[in-house]
Amino acid sequence: MARAVQFGAGNIGRGLVGYVLRRYGYDVTFVDVVDEVVAQLNALGRYPVRILTRDSERVETVDGVRALHAADVDAVTGAVAGAQLVTTAVGPGVLPAVAEPIREGLRRHPAAAVNVIACENMTGNSTRLRALVEGQAGWTVPAWAGFPDCVVDRIVTASPGRPPLTVTVEESFEFLVARAAWVGEVPRIEGVAFVEDLEPYRVRKLWLVNGLHAAVAYLGAQRGHRVIDEAMQDSGIRRIVDGVATEAVAALQHRHPGFDRQELIEYAGRSLTRFSDPRLRDPIARVARDPLRKLGAAERLCGPARAAIDAGLPARHLATVIAAVLQYRAPDDPSAVQLAQDVKRQGWRAVLMRTAELPADHPLLDLVA
């Protein structure tokens, strides 16, 4: 049986990556830092996935799994050395921490095909992980190890009050992998698509899933809502978010004319339908987390806004959301605290010029004002 090591046994790790890999038949070993999660995975050897369909729900069991604690470095590197696939779902900021055990595992790996996929919500995810793995160690990733970038999408939430390790997920998901960077025979994994050009799909997901999700979150926080589905019922928010969708679709179709506009409109509409599901109870604080990063030039809001303006297209609703991000306050979120301090000291224009890489006369600044 092919072996996979999944760094991160959180909601995405269990509810998407582990779920997909076990269905294909991989022997999955999770690596995590949470003692309780590691102990429960080893004690039970399985976990429930509550899948929400449009009108009902079902529970599937992901079995045949085990876990290692990240502190057990020798065991973790040994697992990587024996794997055919290594995946991560730890968050972009944690990738440097997993790079070292992956590097040491690859050093011990036989000269046979292995692929490493960083299932992280960031541009060039696996490419970034490869750079971290090579790092300053003077070591080059061998030709038999692939680091294909990917695009993954599934709303996964915790399930309080349900059996241990249960994750609640929407039925649909997206898992796209860059075919050209894959080493060895391309497997036929149900639900995973290997594509020649990942970039259009990456931008589509970033703008029409992450961007719309962020818009609901920041506008919702501004109006006192706590969960995404509740904010979606707010007519004032929905009007702005619908405008964001229209602007982002137009900018995306202009940038990637291979997309059919009606299909993009339907894609955005499906995103908004997903966000409206009251069973997911997705916390606004989770979606809004790390606002400084999300104000980046190529990120989910400033990216489509800049693209729209460059193409001579409207970006008024996107600018409204960017203004809401600049006003976002969350004392438990270090990025939000830093944002508030920066805005207070420097002013919002200077902050946005820095994060979104804008010249002082860029039209977006006047739209946000």
Domain with CATH 3.40.50.720 in the chain: 3-195
* Angstrom distance (rounded) from CA 252 to CA 256: 6
Q: Does domain 3-195 correspond to CATH entry 3.40.50.300? A: no
Burial class (CB in 10 A: 0-12, 13-18, 19+), 260: exposed
Domain with CATH 1.10.1040.10 in the chain: 199-368
**133 by DSSP, 3-state: which?**
helix
- To which H or E segment does residue 170 belong? strand 167-170
Q: Does domain 199-368 correspond to CATH entry 1.10.1040.10? A: yes
First vs last Cα of the chain: how many Å apart?
58
Closest alpha carbon to 20 in 178, 149, 188, 267: 188
* Angstrom distance (rounded) from CA 319 to CA 328: 14
Query: Tell me, what's the pLDDT at 160?
Result: 81
Give CA separation, 340 vs 96, 328, 348, 367, in Å.
Answer: 27, 8, 9, 20
**What's the maximum distance between 2 C-alpha atoms anywhere in the chain?**
60
Q: How would you label 130-169 residue by residue, b for 16+ Cβ within 10 Å and e otherwise?
A: bebbeeeeeeebeeebbbbbbbbbbbbbebeeeeebbbbb
Structure tokens belonging to residue 246: 């229209």
Are residues 52 and 87 in contact, defined by beta-carbon separation less than 8 angstroms? no
Question: What phi and psi values does residue 117 have, to the nearest 5 degrees?
Answer: -120, 120
Query: Tell me, what's the pLDDT at 335?
Result: 98
Query: Tell me, what's the pLDDT at 21?
Result: 98
Closest alpha carbon to 353 in 320, 343, 324: 343
Query: Tell me, what's the pLDDT at 311?
Result: 98
Structure tokens belonging to residue 188: 């036929």
Q: Which residue has the tokens 């009108």?
A: 55
Closest alpha carbon to 273 in 209, 316, 333, 223: 209
Are residues 2 and 84 in contact, defined by beta-carbon separation less than 8 angstroms? yes
Query: Tell me, what's the pLDDT at 159?
Result: 83
pTM: 0.89
Query: Tell me, what's the pLDDT at 362?
Result: 98
Closest alpha carbon to 152 in 85, 227, 206, 223: 206
pLDDT digits (tens), the chain, 369 positions: 799 999 999 999 999 999 999 999 999 999 999 999 999 999 999 999 999 998 899 999 999 999 999 999 999 999 999 999 999 999 999 999 999 999 999 999 999 999 999 999 888 999 999 999 998 777 899 999 999 999 999 999 878 888 889 999 999 999 999 999 999 999 999 999 999 999 999 999 999 999 999 999 999 999 999 999 999 999 999 999 999 999 999 999 999 999 999 999 999 999 999 999 999 889 999 999 999 999 999 999 999 999 999 999 999 999 999 999 999 999 999 999 999 999 999 999 999 999 999 999 999 999 999
Sign of dihedral through CA atoms 335, 338, 344, 349? Answer: negative
- To which H or E segment does residue 21 belong? helix 19-24
Query: Tell me, what's the pLDDT at 84?
Result: 98
